[in-house]
Structure 1
Amino acid sequence: MLCFWGSQIREGLGLVKPEQVRHGNSGIQSVCPRLIVQDMSAGRSFAGFIRDGKVSVLRLRSEDRNNGKLIQLQLKNDRIRLIVCGGDGAVLLSDLGKVLIMDKSTVCKPLKGLDNRQVIQITCGDHHSMALTKDGQVFVWGENSHGQLGLRKDHPGSPSAQHVQSLSGVPLAQISAGGDHSFVLSLSGVVFGWGKNSAGQLGLGDTTDRHIPTILNSLNGKKTVSISCGGEHTAALSKGGTVFTFGSGGSGQLGHNSFRDEHHPRVVAELWGSEVSQVTCGRHYTLVSITSKLIYSFGCGLQGQLGNGEMIAQSVPFPVDLPTECNREYTIEKIIAGENHSFALFFKELESKGKSNPSRGVLTLNDRMIDRWLSGTDPWATIKQEINAVFSSPASLNGSFLKMNRDDQYPRSEEHCGLDFDLVKTSFAKLSENKSLMSEVMKVVEQMLRSLNPKPVGEESLRVYLLLPELIRRLKKQQRTELTEALASKILQLDPDAHKVLEKYWSKIPDDWLKGLVRLFRRASAELIGQISSGKMGYDLTRRLKRFLKILQMIYQVHCNANRDIPKRDFLIHEICDLLDTLQATFKDLLMQLFLLLQSAMTDDCEDMLKLKDYYFGTIEILVKFPFVADTVCKRRMFHYLQWQLFKPRASANVLHINRESVWLDTLMYLRQKKHTYRNPLQVTFIGENGVDMRGLSAEFFSLLSQSLLKWEKKVLEVHESSLVWFNPDGMQANRDFYYLGVICGMALYNRHYINIEFPLALFKKLLQQSPTLNDLEELSPVEARSLKSLLEEDEEEVVDMLFLDFTVKGKKLIPNGDQIEVTKVNRQKYVDLYVNFVFNKSVKKQFKHFSRGFYKGCPLDAWSMFHPEELQQLFQGSPKYEWKELQLCASYEKCSASDELIKNFWTVFYELSEENKRKFLIFLYGTDRVPVGGFSKRSLKILLLDCADADDRLPEAQTCFGRLIIPKYSDINTLRNKLIHAISFCEVFGRG
């Protein structure tokens, strides 16, 4: 049954004889044609009806000739399933997805620009039209006076279909065109609008026209399921049945009990709580269907188009006076609002034959489709065609595998992508079982990747970047690497806003999904590093490596910021160690070649090795920028290798002559001469001693220098209760004192020696431009930090008030007028944050500024910034762990063995030593008591047995540069004990240097 009301029109619409028309209340008429009306539409000039695939149109305007005559369109063999009437014509859609244009003379022609495209939805405005294709692409044609085509501001309009490229990748559910504005709705309820906005009909809060699709953020999270455009107003319907309207309200068409325009979406309060199932906008009025049984109307009713017997404008919803049989026997299938005419298409609840054909959806990939492919029931040509249709379209993929039966389909924010990850995983796993299917899929995906828009509109466009890694990682090595690289390139091309959304998606995806993402790009990086290690050269390799590492870096930052439960070791690329081994071997070969060069001309092999060396160094310089992929040992090796690159072979030697008694003053004098070449190693000579610095003497130098700095009368440093050392904030030292302190610390790091000054971790955080925290204060000053923690944990507000704290620290104001602002339960967190900031930043701002400037000078290789604060602290101060058993395990022996009685006695005596004496032994043997990063196994210990006649009169000796301990063959364990303790306690000159 078809009901209609509004402006006078031909009796029976030409569908039935006048006497077959039923007349109800309020001017509402109803007809039941012999051929069921499957679909219909009404615009400004025409109403169109589809019956049995054929189209008839009726002119609606009185000034038109042949007004009231029902005209059947001549369409040859095209069966039509949809018709949409606009301003002066109509658009038709055939069962095969072909679009036909009907002009005002009722002549129909195929639309140009949609060749080989299957259209699933059409819509018309006054002067423009839109089409949605099966693969999710939007096409527009017509005028572009207000940007209603969504192409660009200067586009003149077009009679043929033009692709709206900015919407590529958005999985769309619906399109709608109004007077001169347009809207589309995504599967996840995201609304995009553009075109004329003179009355705020775009809902963006202003009256400025838009020439490209713009997201209507105020409807985000509202779970929008349909959108309808009127002449200059718009209505949106949410999943729960809530109606929002905005735009022109001059005729009451917004339903807000006013005649004002609305520039933002506003709920139609009178319909709140009703189960609204449909909403459609006419030119100046609106119709809504409730529970598919009732119709309400509001807006302009001067021609009776509201269907309630009133010929006025109504600003609140009133029911349409439908015939009683409509409520009892029929269900509303579709409501149509034109300019001055309204229609309602009804079907009996159990009736299915002839029911209108609903809009078909965008093609999406699902588990059932994959099962059908795997079953082999369809011809291979058909399967290939479907694969191409799905995987060539980002929109199709982005609309696939959504949680369709849950609210997750409508993400509340950009952090939730709405994908059913378990379904994706099982579906792709099944797909990967068939090699032929996967091969065909990958061919299409490779092409699709090239078409991805680097500036996508809307968050949904980015789902493809979550789906593809899961698909790609199931491929074989070569194809996987190629597609991974293509995917990495596209991710890096995304604009900053898209990057942020993608990172938010990553922060919320399941752990196993994120781990799979890490494995994919880590494995690709490892494969390239392996190729480089095997001697393969080329800029292309390092360029590709950078891409993979940049993606890994993005994922790593997400992992850190979101505190994801993924071990950092999952990011480590162990093949870096192989690259470093190869570089070391290349150095050895190169040194041999250079030796031969002294005797003959340079060989081609030598030139090749020099190029290879430089290439390896270039690769290491890349890896330094991505420190999270290397462990501490590898980073140390990279740091040391890059030092070699900085050395200036022809530079004068850096020989520092000093007295033990004035080590700090002599060092300052040496540095102030500005003759030191910081890029080259430091060599130390103690005046009056015969020793050659093979790293042992310089290790001792930094150890002695550390002691001098702590005893320095200027008190540059102060020791806290924790025995840790921090800058003195109250001293009157010159800036150069802190500068030279930084120079010394930088030189120690660069020369691979330790400073025996216990700085807190906060120092290394600051050097790496990280902010110290309350935990860092607890390390430096436990009592202060515990008091602050107690303040934060206190539940009683009265107790906090009774502490009588204000915003000062040791008489210094933390904020302006801080001495007059009390610390309360409300502002205590701010007080603690300012307190920590004061200790580590504000109070020592100048001191640290000059220290860091000196540090950069002393260590000219800025690759130290690749270390974590904890790693940098260990490189600077050595490991805090003394695993004495490890020292014994790593020992080697000359002229003796571990089973000799003397050696057994030595270790017995060693383990009897106090902790302090054990450290003295390290100083005696190595010149420093610091444990290298990685433990004692990273340092050589050789024990040499000296067999001589006067053994009991000799002291043990140490060759510090080589980590060699010389033990005379003592007659008994007591003699060994006494001589060893004496040697480590009183000997300042370390054996043979």
Structure 2
Amino acid sequence: MELEKWPIFSLLKKDFVQKLKIACVFGALGNEAILVTKNDEVYSMGFNGSGCLGVGDQTSTMIPREIETLCSKKVKGFAYGIGPHVLAYTEDGELYSWGHNGFCQLGNGSTNQGLTPYLVSSHLNSKRVLKVAAGSHHSLALTEDGEVLAWGQNNCGQIGSGTTTNQPTPRKIIANIGGRRVIDIACGQTSSMAVMDNGEVYGWGLNSNGQLGLGNTVNQHNTCRVTALQGVVITKVACGYSHTLALSDEGHLYAWGLNGYGQLGTGNKANQCSPVRIAQEIDRIVDIACTHYCHISAAMTQNSKIYLWGQCKGQSVVSPMETALESLHEVFALWANPSVTFEPIIITTSTPTSLTQSMMTALDDPETSDIVFLVDGRKIHAHRAILKIRCQYFRKMLQEHWKESQMEEVQIKDYSYVVFRAFLQHLYTDTVSVSPEDAIGLLDLANAYCEESVKHHCERIIRHGITIENVAMLYAVAIKYEAQELEEFCFRFALNHMTEVAQTEAFMALDELTVKNFIQRAAQHGAFKY
């Protein structure tokens, strides 16, 4: 992901960019940014409206300046309003805020502008924050305990306190959700949404365009359940300026709210007060994105295809349109107005170098290889040195059995060509690209060769392919290969669809011990309570 696609980053020096691990762009014109380095230094740059750069003054800067308060705090993520105000949380669960504060959105008990980060955690009674969200002038925080805290502007009930009085410090939202666990939060301009751990969705605040999905246009001062999604297990919500997207655990996408630019993706510009399922004709969706800064929507499928719709640089796109883009972030860099990040960019790899490009082309190059694998009657050319360096299994086997002086041809019988080549691709490039079906075979190979990083890649890919029909089989696979994250994900999915899953052939095929353990575990989670 090249940061240069955002104009504000185009002047950064290459050696500085190589040090970054997190970056975000915000502000009414997309002209403010925050950067976190791999050494946990935090910098900001841009116009600095309302002191939102957090450097202690309101001076604009094209050169990154250090936010001293946040350095070495292990900042993990950000959220930002349109004032702008900024929220930052750390790996230790601490929460900081700064910038515009005319509506108490910093949570520090005042309306004074914040020029440096304020430790909001002093008001949280030792609660650890796992996620933050920001509307135009209000803020939400999700804690480790699954509680939602809200503060800031409340003219439309977006704080969920039952009133329209601004909230100066974080307040726990209790009405209608009580002590239940929340797993996701999102903010529109003046609305708020939350997802419960059982997949139910609640909304509160401004509802003039039906953005709460309640079937009406009445503002709500307390949380209200989106009853039209009864029977659908939602795992993620995203809010635009006045519209909402929701993604189910089966990869189905729902939308509701304002639709004047086609941002709902329904094929027309009519507002929707209740959830409507969209994008049914495209592949399974695994991620969604929008932001209260604009009227654009985006989604990514399990095959990594990127779709966009809504207000795209002045044009109205009323149905999801496939693009050649490589990430959801590129949608907002190139097509949103203003160009702001919908969430912080996590920079996991550097810009490709001549070395990494060469490694990508070296695999299966017969001119330079010194070992050949024969799989399903097809040859894969590789290099002993790379295999030794990258894989303990190959290091041992090559040293013990294979001569260095001649070309070796090794027959692979236990794995398919697609699976074995995908494994070699990871050794050469650190990437994995297989279908969810082939990922099961690759998980088997990775387990046999003790490659934990490949196992984690496989677990992620398999999760994207889980359905009611195959979840029981995948649950058994996860147990077999000790893939704990995948096992937990499969269990949660099956628990949310117990009636349907229990009637599938895959569930009937489970061995007796696995079924007993599953039922006992489901009972502990309250599956059989009346």
Structure 2 length-normalised TM:
0.58
Residue 43 of structure 2 aligns with an amino acid whose one-letter code is: S
User: Does the Cα contact within 8 Å between 1:4 and 1:341 map onto a contact in 2?
Assistant: no
Change over 3 Å in CA distance of 1:137–1:241 after alignment to 2:
same
CA distance in 2, matches of 1:410, 1:41: 39
- Determine whether 1:288 maps to 2:295: no
Residue 275 of structure 1 aligns with an amino acid whose one-letter code is: R
SS at match of 2:68: coil
- Determine whether 1:56 maps to 2:56: no
**Aligned pair partner of 1:85 in 80, 94, 103:** 80
**Aligned pair partner of 2:266 in 232, 256, 266:** 256
Change over 3 Å in CA distance of 1:62–1:170 after alignment to 2:
closer
User: Does the Cα contact within 8 Å between 2:27 and 2:340 map onto a contact in 1?
Assistant: no
CA RMSD of aligned residues (A): 3.6
Listed as ranges, the matches of 1:383-422 within 5 Å are 404-410=491-497, 422=520
CA distance in 2, matches of 1:335, 1:133: 30
- Determine whether 1:10 maps to 2:8: yes
User: Does the Cα contact within 8 Å between 2:299 and 2:328 map onto a contact in 1?
Assistant: no
SS at match of 1:201: coil
Change over 3 Å in CA distance of 1:403–1:288 after alignment to 2:
closer
Displacement of 1:292: 6.3
What is the match of residue 116 of structure 2?
107
Displacement of 1:235: 0.5
Listed as ranges, the matches of 1:428-507 within 5 Å are 506-507=529-530
Listed as ranges, the matches of 1:607-646 within 5 Å are none
What is the match of residue 273 of structure 1?
282
Deviations 1:641-683 (A, max 9, x none): xxxxxxxxxxxxxxxxxxxxxxxxxxxxxxxxxxxxxxxxxxx
Residue 496 of structure 2 aligns with an amino acid whose one-letter code is: Q
- Determine whether 1:38 maps to 2:22: yes
Change over 3 Å in CA distance of 1:258–1:97 after alignment to 2:
same
Change over 3 Å in CA distance of 1:409–1:2 after alignment to 2:
farther
CA distance in 1, matches of 2:316, 2:61: 27
SS at match of 2:315: coil
Change over 3 Å in CA distance of 1:116–1:288 after alignment to 2:
same
What is the match of residue 754 of structure 1?
none
Deviations 1:430-471 (A, max 9, x none): xxxxxxxxxxxxxxxxxxxxxxxxxxxxxxxxx7xx59xxxx
Displacement of 1:238: 1.5
What is the match of residue 521 of structure 2?
423
SS at match of 1:404: helix
User: Does the Cα contact within 8 Å between 2:23 and 2:33 map onto a contact in 1?
Assistant: no
Change over 3 Å in CA distance of 1:217–1:98 after alignment to 2:
same
CA distance in 2, matches of 1:181, 1:99: 21
What is the match of residue 560 of structure 1?
none
What is the match of residue 158 of structure 1?
167
Residue 33 of structure 1 aligns with an amino acid whose one-letter code is: V
User: Does the Cα contact within 8 Å between 1:332 and 1:346 map onto a contact in 2?
Assistant: no
CA distance in 2, matches of 1:102, 1:62: 11
Larger Rg: 1
CA distance in 2, matches of 1:410, 1:70: 49
CA distance in 2, matches of 1:201, 1:189: 18
Listed as ranges, the matches of 1:340-379 within 5 Å are 340-343=338-341, 347=348, 350=430
CA distance in 1, matches of 2:499, 2:201: 13
Listed as ranges, the matches of 1:834-873 within 5 Å are none
Change over 3 Å in CA distance of 1:210–1:62 after alignment to 2:
closer
CA distance in 2, matches of 1:410, 1:152: 33
Which structure has the highest helix share of the two? 1
Listed as ranges, the matches of 1:563-578 within 5 Å are none
- Determine whether 1:73 maps to 2:67: yes
Displacement of 1:265: 1.0
Displacement of 1:92: 0.4
Listed as ranges, the matches of 1:95-244 within 5 Å are 95-104=91-100, 106-111=115-120, 112-154=122-164, 156-166=165-175, 167-244=177-254
Displacement of 1:420: 5.8
Deviations 1:229-281 (A, max 9, x none): 11111101122222211111112211122222111111223x53322221111
User: Does the Cα contact within 8 Å between 2:157 and 2:206 map onto a contact in 1?
Assistant: yes
Displacement of 1:284: 1.1
Residue 409 of structure 1 aligns with an amino acid whose one-letter code is: N
Displacement of 1:405: 4.6
Q: How many pairs align?
A: 348
Deviations 1:138-169 (A, max 9, x none): 11111111000111124x12221111123332
Gap regions ≥5 residues in structure 1 = 21-31, 303-310, 359-400, 414-418, 428-462, 468-504, 508-993
Change over 3 Å in CA distance of 1:141–1:411 after alignment to 2:
farther
Deviations 1:366-418 (A, max 9, x none): xxxxxxxxxxxxxxxxxxxxxxxxxxxxxxxxxxx9973543325789xxxxx
SS at match of 1:199: coil
Displacement of 1:68: 4.7
Displacement of 1:336: 6.0
Change over 3 Å in CA distance of 1:215–1:284 after alignment to 2:
same
CA distance in 1, matches of 2:142, 2:88: 13
Structure 1 length-normalised TM:
0.32
Change over 3 Å in CA distance of 1:423–1:86 after alignment to 2:
same
CA distance in 2, matches of 1:60, 1:255: 34
Displacement of 1:346: 6.4
Change over 3 Å in CA distance of 1:260–1:424 after alignment to 2:
closer
Change over 3 Å in CA distance of 1:54–1:268 after alignment to 2:
farther
Residue 16 of structure 1 aligns with an amino acid whose one-letter code is: K
Listed as ranges, the matches of 1:634-713 within 5 Å are none
Change over 3 Å in CA distance of 1:280–1:191 after alignment to 2:
same
Greater relative contact order, per chain length (Cα 8 Å cut-off, separation 6+): 2
Residue 44 of structure 2 aligns with an amino acid whose one-letter code is: V
Gap regions ≥5 residues in structure 2 = 51-57, 101-113, 350-428, 432-452, 461-487, 501-516
